Structure 1
């Protein structure tokens, strides 16, 4: 009996096609060929090439944010969780850009085509940061009136270290020192206890 064609199988095949051939080949016909099915079978799950590419971008961004959600939901001290969260986000993006630059560029390109997916991703990340900051306010670690607004501000303030638009800067030898300066600025801005 043949494997059942699911959206997950199609997305796995699309990611494999992307990895092997780049974004020009990430279309319904090439993915269906890789799966050994008709393109109509793929279209039943994804009505267009754009929908398929958007789903691939969404899946990639979800893989990036899932470990961050675990950190946000942790119950340790908020300043340490905030730092772990920021480190994890920056390190995961920078590692992929360093180890698989073509694939990273491909995923970034797909994400840029999927504006609504990216907006939802940014909101999810900002909300996770807001949760950590709100927890810190509740514990007396931070003193800010709008934790969720500050979550978005922290995400924006650290974009140089995780936003793919800054990939070219990630080899700058001053980057770790710049990261530490921004971290101190964030702690000050959050009114962190000394």
Structure 2
């Protein structure tokens, strides 16, 4: 098979994978993850379940791919903010606020999406861990830039990023956000961010 033919096959395969994921995500959003099976996805696409299994070994694998795609969009948002304009302090503050709003708008208001993310977190898939590592790497970059610019005190950027991420988990973890939204005895997003920025500045 020549290179052109191989590229055509690869493109056709990717298009089919995308169609399967788009259909599965639409059905998961509408009916919920637990109530959707591979046969439903196949029916929606007008193909046999056997054809789905040529590309994905199970519904779990389809779900994993969808979560990877969703987290990719979240990472892109984080990348745009933390590698965008502004001081290190401004970028960290803007990221936390946007991440929290995204969690509220997308993962909580759309309950079926929330269900998909919770299932992924409970299974502790590697895509979740990889996403957290990538976010921490972005934070470390910003903190290092802040140290170099004299905004933040001298410290290990990687350790500071992990601490910053851990301290803000209540603002981006779907289950924690859901539990804390109605609580009056929790720090607000603004209070928590300002506390952490101040901590980064301390000598």
Q: Same fold (TM over 0.5)?
A: yes
1:149 pairs with 2:149: no
Contact 2:137-2:161 within 8 A present in 1 as well: yes
Give, in whole Å, the separation in 1 of the partners of 2:128 and 2:182.
25
Shift of 1:82: 0.6
Per the alignment, residue 39 of structure 1 pairs with: 49
Give, in whole Å, the separation in 2 of the partners of 1:128 and 1:170.
27
Contact 1:112-1:118 within 8 A present in 2 as well: no
Q: Which runs of 5+ in 2 are unaligned?
A: 1-11
1:123 pairs with 2:133: yes
1:188 pairs with 2:175: no
1:28 pairs with 2:38: yes
1:171 pairs with 2:196: no
Q: Which runs of 5+ in 1 are unaligned?
A: none
Give, in whole Å, the separation in 2 of the partners of 1:65 and 1:159.
15
The 3-state SS of whatever aligns with 1:63 is helix
Give, in whole Å, the separation in 1 of the partners of 2:159 and 2:35.
40
Structure 1 length normalisation: TM-score? 0.87
Of 105, 113, 120, which residue of structure 2 is paired with 1:95? Answer: 105
Give, in whole Å, the separation in 1 of the partners of 2:42 and 2:112.
23
Structure 2 length normalisation: TM-score? 0.83
Give the length in aligned residue pairs.
Answer: 189
Per the alignment, residue 64 of structure 2 pairs with: 54
